[in-house]
Structure 1
Amino acid sequence: MTDLEYLDRAERLLMAVESHCDRINEETDCDLDTQRSGGVVTITFADRSQIIINLQKPLHEVWMAARSGGYHYRLEGERWVDTKGGLEFFAALSRDASAQAGQPLHFAPLP
């Protein structure tokens, strides 16, 4: 994968995260504060816990830090997959965001 391909795919992942946070805020009583600075998206929950997603351009990875731990994702085909546990990025984000919000939240790639 070239650097440009990585940046395109990683940017789409960050846009999907931001889009789903906006949808969650509109459709639920969950109050997610989402901030973006370059290749970093920070989601802050009502209890002040955070999930931080950032691009690791030299490695062509996306990293996520949540209350449950830190994870590294690489693109495999069409999916971002954890380099150690094999869990898909949006499944892991849904799991961790749900735990930190105290209610079920769903994240998925943009169509």
Structure 2
Amino acid sequence: MTANQTEFEAAIERTLIAIEDALDECEWDIDYERADAVLTLTLEDNGSQVILSRQTANSELWVAARSGGYHLSFESPGWKCTTTGEDLPTLLDRVLTEQQGEPVSLGLE
């Protein structure tokens, strides 16, 4: 692995752990399951899912939600969506809110 690949893998790992920690602490009933670098969030109220996945070839983090697919690149200090310009915490709160039908905030930084 190159230095950039190593940095990318470390950034993905930190991000997924931070999301898991936020889900453990949040007031919403959102289950999650992780398989390698794919994190599936399931909203228990309606069964809808948001899926985050590592895309090593592109050095991106992808988010799949009802509203569409989002590609995020790592730009210090964090992940930024290549189409909407949103950072990851803003994007995740928005798609979870849309799918929950009520405001959701994971409190990610």
- TM-score, length of structure 1 as denominator length: 0.88
1:5 equivalent to 2:7? Answer yes
Amino acid paired to 1:38: D
Percent identical residues: 34
In 1, Cα distance between the equivalents of 2:67 and 2:30? 18
1:106 paired residue number? 105
Query: Which whole-Å CA distance do the structure 1 matches of 2:7 and 2:55 have between them?
Result: 14
| Counterpart mapping for 1:1-111 below 5 A | 2-24=4-26, 28=27, 30-45=28-43, 46-107=45-106, 108-109=108-109
SS at match of 2:105: coil
Aligned length: 105
- Provide the C-alpha distance between the structure 1 equivalents of 2:58 and 2:37, rounded to a whole number of angstroms: 14
C-alpha displacement of 1:85: 1.7
Shift of 1:84: 1.6
Q: Which runs of structure 1 show a deviation greater than 6 angstroms over 4 or more consecutive aligned residues? A: none
Cα root mean square deviation, aligned: 1.3
